[in-house]
Amino acid sequence: MGLDVNRKAITKNAYRITKVRGKTALRVRVPGGHLDTKQFAVIHEIADKYGNGTVHLTTRQGFEIPGIDYELMPEINKMIAPVIEDLEVAIGVPIADSKAGYPAAGTRNVAACVGNRVCPFANIDTSSLAMRIEKEIYPNNYHAKIAITGCPNDCIKSRMHDFGIIAITEPVYEYDRCMGCEACVTNCKKKVTGALTMHNGKVKRDPRRCIGCGECVLKCPTASWTRNPTKFFDLIIMGRTGKKNPRIAERFIQWCTVDVVLQVINNTYTFVDKYIDRSLPKEHIGYIVDRMGYQLFRDGVLEGIKLNPEARVSKHINWTGFLYTSDIFMDD
């Protein structure tokens, strides 16, 4: 296909503009990175019959099927419909016509670590939360990246995303069950933050240093530590890669509930719609926040939200990251 390619329509339909003339690549969303193996048959058929016989696993836990002719896009959309229906429509994502393919691609696939379906360290079912968030935010053309990790180990690298959602737990201590073995204290000192100390043969937890990892719960031989049934989260924001100013996300709210997380994300889309620079082809959320200021963002996205009593909001955030002007300090 020549110069008549409608790049905007193609990319919005979740196809990539590739370096190979006349060829595109389909981007398949997998919310939370979890799917039934029956979906592989559809992906395999498209790749073998209409692509170049290969599939790329993306860093966002989706699939890219390269080598597809542009004119075959309507046919491919019909073929991928069962995957869209199972992974999107079935969880409540409002897609009117699944046979027309994906209706948007700006908001990227919600990524998640394996979660507590498999991992003993994880505090939640991360894939289920990813699906819940997918239902809230997709389809949407605004560029946003969201990742969920089941514990502060952060295996999904959530600190490199616009929204990093870290599942944490409040460890509940049962004084009478503790035999003072110090297993939890030793482990916290060696592997975590040293939030636990011994006092008169019992354990004392410093809530300001505790990051909610749940390691103490796993290490206790007498079940003196248990997880609070209420699920809490660290919500970290505006991490990114890219050419201009890559950086690590910083903490926005600690010890918030899932309802707060969802409301903040939804309110952020309203914030973006209000302040995005429409003269640009696209503007990532983090650069809008940089331009408008953290205080305006904080006050805007928290408007109308009733925070749970445990939640703590950052008064200020000082993002750093890599600025290319720093090369003036490097040897020629």
Q: Give Cα separations from 273 to 141, 149, 288 (angstroms).
A: 11, 27, 10
Residue range of the domain that includes 151? 111-168+231-326
**What pLDDT digit, counting tens, does each position of 220-264 carry?**
999 999 999 999 999 999 999 988 899 999 999 999 999 999 999
Distance CA 101, CA 91 (A): 17
With respect to residue 124, please indicate whether it lies within any of the assigned structural domains: yes
Q: Tell me whether residue 331 is in a domain.
A: no
pLDDT (average), residues 34-63: 97
Tell me the CA distances in angstroms from 177 to 1, 33, 172, 201, 203, one per residue in order: 71, 39, 12, 12, 11
Which CATH number characterizes residue 150's domain? 3.30.413.10
The tokens describing 277, both together, are 């620079």
What integer pLDDT is reported at residue 324 of this predicted model? 67
Q: Position 315: which residue type? A: K
Domain CATH code at residue 181: 3.30.70.20
| % of the chain at pLDDT higher than 70 | 96
Contact 47, 73 (CB under 8 A): no
Question: 151 and 243, same structural domain?
Answer: yes
Whether residue 1 has pLDDT greater than 50: no
Last residue of a domain, one of 227, 260, 275: 227
| pLDDT reported for residue 282 | 87
Q: Does 266 fall in a domain? A: yes
Final residue belonging to a domain, choices 191, 207, 227? 227
Q: Are residues 314 and 294 in the same domain?
A: yes
**Which token pair is 305?**
């939200």
Q: For residues 199 and 213, what is the distance between their CA atoms, to the nearest angstrom?
A: 22
Q: CA-CA distance, 145 to 121, in Å (whole number)? A: 24
Report the CATH number at residue 35.
3.90.480.20
In a domain, 197, yes or no: yes
Do 79 and 182 reside in the same domain of the chain? no
Q: Are residues 177 and 88 in the same domain?
A: no
Do 257 and 162 share a structural domain?
A: yes
List, for residues 161-172, the tens digit of each pLDDT value: 999 999 999 999
Name the 3-class secondary structure at 89.
helix
- Prediction pTM value: 0.94
Angstrom distance (rounded) from CA 299 to CA 276: 17
Distance between CA atoms of 185 and 203, rounded to whole angstroms?
A: 7
Residues 143 and 249 in one domain: yes
In order of 30, 86, 95, 122, 146, the CA distances from 90 in angstroms are: 13, 5, 10, 25, 21
Domain count, the chain: 3
Mean pLDDT (whole number) for 124-153? 97
pLDDT digits (tens, 9 = 90+) for 198-216: 999 999 999 999 999 999 9
